[in-house]
């Protein structure tokens, strides 16, 4: 072989491959998904759905089926027959689109929402807050990375305003969680310092988003977990045709009593066998030192609220309870828990987020909890009773008044005694 031929045999295939890949990703692949895929995606709880865009955007703009985003964390995976997705399929005009797994706390949810701000504009949403998110170090970096990707980051960077204290806060958090490396790191650094991105930055971001958009269209429809056919659909026919919350609740309690009879905590038998059996002794008093009152999560929640204000989304909140028997056993300081809830509610109410379902005192009600920290059975029934009317009936326009004092270290670290909360409010002229 001559040297020239040899050169071609080395680099020819590489050049051809590069050209083909480039063409492949530049083609405007159609990202249309079937109604069936939408249905699956809505309850799959897969990170693929969470991190990408095409599935949720298509579902939320669907004209035939009214999907409502439900934001939360691990509770959505408790799919008994009273789960909101089953209840909605049986009785209601809307379908929940679930965004929530373990670790999807405020900040991952913010990036999730940023990808579909247009679809959330002037619509409704449900947001489930768990006091367990509000640990001292806030969302774990590993959990954040698992539910977030460069697509969401770049979409956030693209619309971030370096003049807004909210966006500067988010940029700082992004740097804390992802580090300064790479291009997202350098964009976030600029935004956190209040500097605008250059024209060249914008050009690079837009072209990257275009490629990721095509990639999303091509691949997101695959790899979705099929919860719908296995865990939702079979349960729809188990519900009575007539909706009567009192009857459902009574049935749910009965069902709970049967399904949780192998343990003194009233948790699902299977959960007890898998996660608790044999560990009862060592978990006694293990949560005595838990503290949710001071956390960066309060600031993270604040940027989520800001996002709701920006999209003028009418949102109803639910604050989750804890299983009272379990917490008594583990020594969780309930005073601290109620203080946490009070702090969260202060932050919500002060800024005009008045639709709050507070379940924090419901943890001792029979049949309300499915396990140690997640609601189920009668809990889900009541959740549906309170959310469905909000989602189905016309609601007055929300009137949110944001206050960036809730991003301050003072607020994040405030010990939420009644006195401290009062003082904070009067200092910042909050009603």
Partner 1 sequence: MVNWFASLPNFSAYGTPTYFIYLLIALLPMGIGLYFGKRFEWYEALISFIFIFFMFDGHDYKQALSLIAYIIYQTCLVMWYFHYRQKKNNSMVFYVTVFLSLLPIIIVKFTPAMVGHNSLLGFLGISYLTFRAAGTIIETRDGAIKDINWWKFIRFMAFMPTITSGPIDRYRRFSKDYQKVPSREKYLSLLEKAVLYLFIGFVYKFVVDYFFAQRWLPYVEQQAMAHAPHLSWWVAGVAYVYTGDLYFDFAGYSLFAVAISYIMGVETPMNFNKPFLSKNIKEFWNRWHMTLSFWFRDYIFMRFVFLATKKRWFKNRNVLSSIAYMLNMVVMGFWHGVTWYYILYGFLHGFALVTNDWWLRYKRKHFKNLKSTKLTKFIAGFITFNFVVFGFLIFCGFLNTLWFSPAAMK
Which residues of the chain form contacts with partner 1 (CB under 8 A)? Answer: 3, 6-7, 10-11, 14, 73-74, 102-103, 105, 130, 132-133, 135, 137, 140, 142-143, 145-146, 180-183, 185-186, 189-190, 193, 195, 279, 282, 290, 373
CB 93 within 8 A of CB 392: yes
- Nearer to partner 1 among residue 59 and residue 157 (C-beta): 157
Distance CA(137)–CA(144), nearest Å, equals 13
Q: Minimal distance in Å, beta carbon 14 to partner 1?
A: 6
Q: Minimal distance in Å, beta carbon 370 to partner 1?
A: 14
Task: Say what the alpha-carbon torsion angle 69, 71, 74, 80 is, to the nearest 10 degrees.
Answer: -40
Q: Minimal distance in Å, beta carbon 18 to partner 1?
A: 9
Partner residues linked to 375 by β-bridges: 369
CB 80 within 8 A of CB 376: yes
Query: Which H or E element spans position 316?
Result: strand 314-319
Which token pair is 82? 């009273």
- Nearer to partner 1 among residue 82 and residue 290 (C-beta): 290
- Nearer to partner 1 among residue 39 and residue 106 (C-beta): 106
- Nearer to partner 1 among residue 193 and residue 262 (C-beta): 193
Distance CA(158)–CA(188), nearest Å, equals 11
* Residue with the two structure tokens 């247009």: 118
Q: What SS3 state is found at 16?
A: helix
- Nearer to partner 1 among residue 182 and residue 240 (C-beta): 182
- Nearer to partner 1 among residue 1 and residue 246 (C-beta): 1
Distance CA(124)–CA(313), nearest Å, equals 5
- Nearer to partner 1 among residue 193 and residue 366 (C-beta): 193
Q: Minimal distance in Å, beta carbon 381 to partner 1?
A: 23
* Residue with the two structure tokens 């170090």: 137
Which token pair is 411? 């607020």
- Nearer to partner 1 among residue 186 and residue 230 (C-beta): 186
Residue 352 Cα to chain centre, angstroms: 21
Q: Minimal distance in Å, beta carbon 180 to partner 1?
A: 4
CB 235 within 8 A of CB 85: no
Sequence-ordered list of residues with C-beta below 8 angstroms from that of 134, at least 6 positions apart, any chain: 292, 293, 295, 297, 298, 340, 344
- Nearer to partner 1 among residue 64 and residue 181 (C-beta): 181
Angle between helices 150-159 and 106-114 (to 10 degrees): 70
Query: Which H or E element spans position 291?
Result: none
Q: CA torsion sign, 239 to 241 to 244 to 246?
A: negative
φ, ψ of residue 3 to 5 degrees: the values are: -65, -35
Q: Minimal distance in Å, beta carbon 52 to partner 1?
A: 14
Angle between helices 334-350 and 418-427 (to 10 degrees): 20
- Nearer to partner 1 among residue 9 and residue 121 (C-beta): 9
Q: What SS3 state is found at 369?
A: strand
């Amino acid at each position: 072989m001559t040297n020239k031929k040899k050169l071609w045999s080395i680099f020819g295939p590489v050049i051809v491959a590069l050209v083909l890949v480039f063409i492949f990703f530049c083609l405007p692949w159609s990202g249309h998904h079937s109604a069936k895929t939408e249905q699956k995606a809505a309850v799959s709880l897969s990170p693929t759905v969470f991190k990408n865009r095409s599935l949720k955007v298509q579902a939320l703009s669907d004209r035939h089926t009214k999907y409502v985003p439900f934001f939360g964390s691990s509770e959505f995976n408790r799919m008994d027959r009273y789960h909101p997705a089953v209840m909605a399929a049986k009785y209601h005009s809307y379908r929940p689109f679930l965004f929530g797994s373990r670790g999807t706390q405020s900040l991952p949810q913010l990036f999730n929402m940023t990808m579909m701000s247009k679809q959330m504009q002037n619509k409704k949403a449900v947001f489930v807050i768990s006091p367990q998110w509000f640990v001292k170090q806030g969302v774990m970096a590993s959990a954040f990375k698992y539910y977030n990707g460069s697509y969401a980051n770049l979409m956030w960077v693209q619309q971030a305003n370096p003049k807004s204290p909210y966006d500067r806060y988010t940029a700082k958090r992004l740097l804390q969680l992802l580090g300064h490396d790479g291009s997202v790191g350098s964009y976030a650094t600029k935004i956190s310092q209040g500097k605008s991105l250059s024209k060249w930055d914008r050009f690079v971001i837009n072209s990257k988003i275009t490629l990721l958009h095509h990639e999303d269209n091509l691949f997101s429809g695959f790899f979705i977990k099929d919860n719908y056919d296995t865990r939702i659909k079979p349960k729809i026919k188990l519900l009575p045709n007539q909706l009567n919350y009192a009857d459902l609740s009574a049935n749910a309690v009965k069902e709970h009593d049967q399904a949780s009879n192998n343990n003194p905590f009233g948790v699902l038998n299977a959960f007890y066998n898998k996660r608790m059996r044999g560990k009862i002794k060592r978990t006694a008093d293990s949560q005595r030192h838990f503290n949710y009152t001071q956390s960066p999560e309060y600031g993270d929640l604040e940027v989520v609220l800001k996002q709701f204000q920006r999209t003028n989304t009418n949102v109803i909140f639910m604050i989750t309870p804890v299983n009272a028997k379990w917490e008594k056993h583990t020594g969780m300081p309930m005073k601290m828990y109620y203080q946490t809830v009070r702090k969260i509610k202060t932050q919500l109410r002060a800024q005009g987020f008045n639709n709050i379902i507070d379940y924090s005192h419901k943890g001792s009600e029979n049949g309300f909890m499915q396990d140690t920290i997640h609601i189920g059975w009668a809990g889900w029934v009541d959740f549906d009773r309170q959310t469905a009317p909000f989602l189905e009936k016309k609601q007055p326009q929300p009137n949110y008044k944001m206050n960036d004092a809730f991003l301050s270290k003072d607020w994040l670290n405030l010990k939420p005694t009644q006195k401290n909360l009062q003082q904070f409010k009067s200092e910042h002229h909050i009603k």
